Structures are given as structure tokens and as C-alpha cells.
């Protein structure tokens, strides 16, 4: 009825043009409405949980917690010159040293493996290892240092001695459970990172396991 009235008033050609324009506008409006609704649905849609997604969440975290082992060490250095296996008299040299050290243990993020299946996020963390070992320079004290003109204490003596002492302290730290505690802290840290995204992982179980042993 509307278009018949329009034809009578504007003429057949003009009425057809108006009709086409109205149809075109309605089609254009429908397309806009469709894309608008689609964009909202895409934004609300949760990302698919994949191994790559989980790994990227862990990799992009600021840090994976590591463990510090603080200690104070006392060590004594002794040496003497020898000739054919016989100690030369009055050639002994020695010193006692005291210092504070810091051993840092943790895991390498690059070696983390992730597998997602059956509502489970399976994570294989590498075994913790010693990342660094530093001696606090301002804590070093030397006692009972000999002054032997025939066999003087050298910088190399100090360097070699502290290197050996560091190895001993690392062994002691490992025996005291440093790497075991670092493994536990790494698991806790990774789990806390994933818990920052509750909407993504609330229906998933996080499991830590050794992939090599489970295969």
C-alpha cells in the first residue's frame, strides 16, 4: 500500500529507486548487526586450552621462584713445597678464611614440557639445579696468614682454595635438601602462575609428572 501510494505520487521510476535504496539500507544494517554480534561472541569466547597456550602463560611470567641457600664458611688452606715427595723444611704456607656465600637453585623455563588432555594440564618440570654461587666480597676475612719468604701465598692460592670450598658447600647444600626444596618451590610457583587465570583453568586439573617415566 505504501509503495503504491509512493508510485502514484512520485512516478514509477522514482518509486523503484526509493524501494531499492530502502532494501539496500536494510541489508547493510543486517550485515552491521551480524558483525557486531559476532565480535561480541568472539570476545566472550574462552580461548582453547592447548599445550602452547599453557607454556606461553608460564614463559611470559616474570619469574619462576628459586631457592636461596645462605651460609657462612670457615676454611683452612695449607701447602708446602716438596722435592721428590719430601716436604722441604720451612716451606709451609697457610691461611684461614671466613666468608658468607649465597647459592641459588632453580629450574630452566626452556626445559618445561606441557601436555593438555582429558581435562588435565600435565606439566613436566626439569630437575632443579644450582644456578649461581656467589661469595660476598665484603664478608671475606683472612686469619693466621703465614709470611714465608721461600713459599709466599699467591692470589692463585686464594682463588683455587675458594673454588674448592665452593664445591664443598654446594655438595653440602644438596645433601641438606636444597634441590628438593627448589623442585617444590618451582611446582608451587608454576601452579600460582596458572591460578592467575581461573576462568581458563577452573575445570582443569593441574598434574606434575615426569613424562619420560610415564611413557
The pLDDT value recorded for residue 45 is: 47
Give the up-direction half-sphere exposure of residue 7: CA atoms within 13 A in the CB hemisphere. 8
Q: Are 21 and 123 members of one domain?
A: no
Quick one: 64 exposed, middle or buried, by C-beta within 10 A (0-12, 13-18, 19+)?
buried
Residues of the chain with pLDDT under 70: 1-26, 28-49, 61-63, 80-91, 149-150, 199-201, 212-215
Q: Are 60 and 147 members of one domain?
A: yes
The CB density around residue 214, as the number of other CB atoms within 10 Å, is: 10
Q: Are 85 and 149 members of one domain?
A: yes
Q: Are 57 and 29 members of one domain?
A: no
- Rounded distance between C-alpha atoms, residue 104 and residue 133, angstroms: 6
Quick one: 103 exposed, middle or buried, by C-beta within 10 A (0-12, 13-18, 19+)?
buried
Q: Are 125 and 162 members of one domain?
A: yes
- Cell representation of residue 203: 575445570
pLDDT in tens, 6-49: 445 555 565 556 555 666 666 766 666 666 555 554 444 455 66
- Rounded distance between C-alpha atoms, residue 167 and residue 10, angstroms: 100
State which residues form the domain around 147.
51-214
Q: Are 79 and 169 members of one domain?
A: yes
35-48: b (≥16 Cβ within 10 Å) or e: eeeeeeeeeeeeee
Tally the domains of the chain.
2
Strands 120-124 and 113-117: antiparallel
Give the pTM. 0.68
Question: What is the CA 155 to chain-centroid distance, rounded?
Answer: 38
CB 108 within 8 A of CB 66: no
Amino acid at each position: 500500500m505504501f509503495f503504491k501510494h509512493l508510485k502514484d505520487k512520485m512516478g514509477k521510476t522514482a518509486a523503484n529507486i526509493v524501494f531499492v535504496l530502502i532494501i539496500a539500507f536494510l541489508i547493510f544494517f543486517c550485515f552491521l548487526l551480524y558483525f557486531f554480534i559476532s565480535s561480541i561472541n568472539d570476545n566472550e569466547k574462552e580461548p582453547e586450552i592447548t599445550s602452547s597456550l599453557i607454556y606461553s602463560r608460564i614463559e611470559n611470567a616474570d619469574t619462576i621462584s628459586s631457592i636461596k641457600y645462605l651460609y657462612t664458611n670457615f676454611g683452612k688452606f695449607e701447602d708446602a713445597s716438596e722435592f721428590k715427595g719430601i716436604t722441604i723444611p720451612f716451606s709451609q704456607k697457610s691461611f684461614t678464611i671466613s666468608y658468607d656465600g649465597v647459592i641459588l637453585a632453580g629450574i630452566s623455563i626452556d626445559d618445561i614440557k606441557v601436555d593438555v588432555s582429558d581435562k588435565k594440564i600435565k606439566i613436566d618440570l626439569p630437575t632443579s639445579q644450582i644456578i649461581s654461587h656467589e661469595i660476598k666480597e665484603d664478608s671475606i676475612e683472612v686469619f693466621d696468614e703465614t709470611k714465608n719468604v721461600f713459599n709466599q701465598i699467591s692470589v692463585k692460592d686464594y682463588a683455587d682454595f675458594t673454588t674448592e670450598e665452593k664445591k664443598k658447600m654446594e655438595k653440602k647444600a644438596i645433601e641438606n635438601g636444597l634441590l628438593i626444596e627448589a623442585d617444590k618451590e618451582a611446582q608451587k610457583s608454576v601452579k600460582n602462575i596458572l591460578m592467575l587465570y581461573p576462568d581458563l583453568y577452573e575445570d582443569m586439573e593441574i598434574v606434575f609428572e615426569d613424562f619420560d617415566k610415564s611413557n
